[in-house]
Amino acid sequence: MNKIILNYLLKNFLKTFFYLVLIFYSFGVILNLFEEVEFFKNLDVSIFTPLILTGIFIPSLIIQLLPFIIFISSMWFMLKIRNNKDLLTLKVFGFSNLKIFFILAFTSFILGWLIMFLISPITSSLVKYYEKTKSNYSIDIDHLVTFNKNGLWIKENLQNGRRIISAEKPDGENLINVAIFHFNDDYSLSEKIIAERVNIKNNEWALENVKIFKPVDDIFIFKNYDSYKIYSIYNYEKITTLFKNFDTMSLYDLLANYKILIKNGYSKTFLDQNLHMMLSMPFFLFLMTALAAVLTMNTLKKSNNLKLTIAGLIIAVLIFYFKDLSLALGQTDRIPLILSVWAPVIALCFFTFVGVLQINEK
């Protein structure tokens, strides 16, 4: 009998979860499709291109919303079994509130790990393809920053021409082995600058061990400088921000290639934040299920589902705001970054612990 009841709980809970995922996916497709159509409206592409790109982008968005989806799924399922008297029947067969809670919460916990290790690598690959495809159509972008196997490349529009910058690799707030090309409006090369190291902490870049080539009678003559300065619209913070896309990295990528990513110039702070956010996800799902149990399993009586749902959604939104606030404090060094990732989980753990003890007494 216990096996039958366990199968009933797991089957219906997961059914509710996947139903919610489908609803969120459908809404995501509808909303994002307008943005993709707007992007491609003046380009000669197939009518299916915006739809395909939308379809491969939304799964990564679903993973970001997993705590919210799990919370709604848990509330929906628990309200359902409470209102149709299944919860009372389960108690007759010896299933207490605490036992039901742990079954659903551990299911969420395991689901979180499965998604992080099995689904996340797929969605990260899809997002990479999505960004690569859109970048191929972004031919009219005035300013462009890209990082590939050939190093860092920057395109920048100037008042009287254009500038293209290439660097072998980044090294903290510096770029190594940098070549800077200045072009006139007619795309003729007016100046070439070679520097061994460039500090890009501020918009005024500081170049070291510099050679500057300028054309004289169609022959490029160079001069050596120990230091030289140029102004750019880009600085270290702005460039690194452009590459802070968590969706292009999976948990497997971070665990397997952490040292390689550091060597390639990725910020250790950024990678640590991303890694701990992924590691905290299963625990967050567990606690969101616990929160739903605290709100719905404190009584066997029917209640106003609409009011309870609205109250739950408000609490969930407040949790997400607290999570963003905690991350902001960590990113600005007000608190340790790793603590800023885990602080919402720890706070929610204390709150739900007291609530779960109360529902166990019901």
CB 184 within 8 A of CB 190: yes
Q: What is the DSSP letter of 115?
A: I
Q: Other C-beta atoms within 10 Å of 248: how many?
A: 20
Could you tell me how many residues make up the chain? 362
**pLDDT tens, position by position, for the chain (362 residues)?**
578 888 888 899 999 999 999 999 999 998 888 888 887 777 777 878 888 888 888 998 899 899 999 999 998 888 888 877 777 777 777 777 788 888 999 999 999 999 999 998 898 888 888 877 776 665 444 456 666 666 777 888 787 788 888 888 777 788 888 998 888 877 788 888 899 999 988 888 999 998 888 887 777 788 888 888 888 888 887 776 666 566 677 788 888 887 877 776 667 777 888 888 899 999 999 999 998 888 887 665 666 667 777 877 888 888 888 888 888 888 777 888 888 889 889 988 888 887 777 766 55
CA distance 328 to 98: 35
Torsion of CA 318, 323, 326, 328, to 10 degrees: -100
Q: Per residue in 85-118, is it b (16+ CB within 10 Å) or e — as a string?
A: eebeebeeeebebbbbbbbbbebbbebbeebbee
CB 330 within 8 A of CB 341: yes
CB 44 within 8 A of CB 6: no
Q: Which amino acid is at 8?
A: Y
Q: What is the pLDDT of residue 140?
A: 44
Q: What is the DSSP letter of 247?
A: G
Q: Which amino acid is at 131?
A: E
SS3 content of the chain, % helix, strand, coil (to 5): 60, 20, 20
pTM surpassing 0.85?
no
User: What does the angle CA 312 – CA 316 – CA 319 come to, to the nearest 5 degrees?
Assistant: 140
φ/ψ of residue 220, rounded to 5: -85, 120
What is the chain's alpha carbon radius of gyration, rounded to the nearest angstrom? 27
Beta bridge partners of 212: 193, 223
Joined together, the tokens standing for residue 274 give 């991303």
Domain ranges of the chain: 2-138+245-360, 144-232
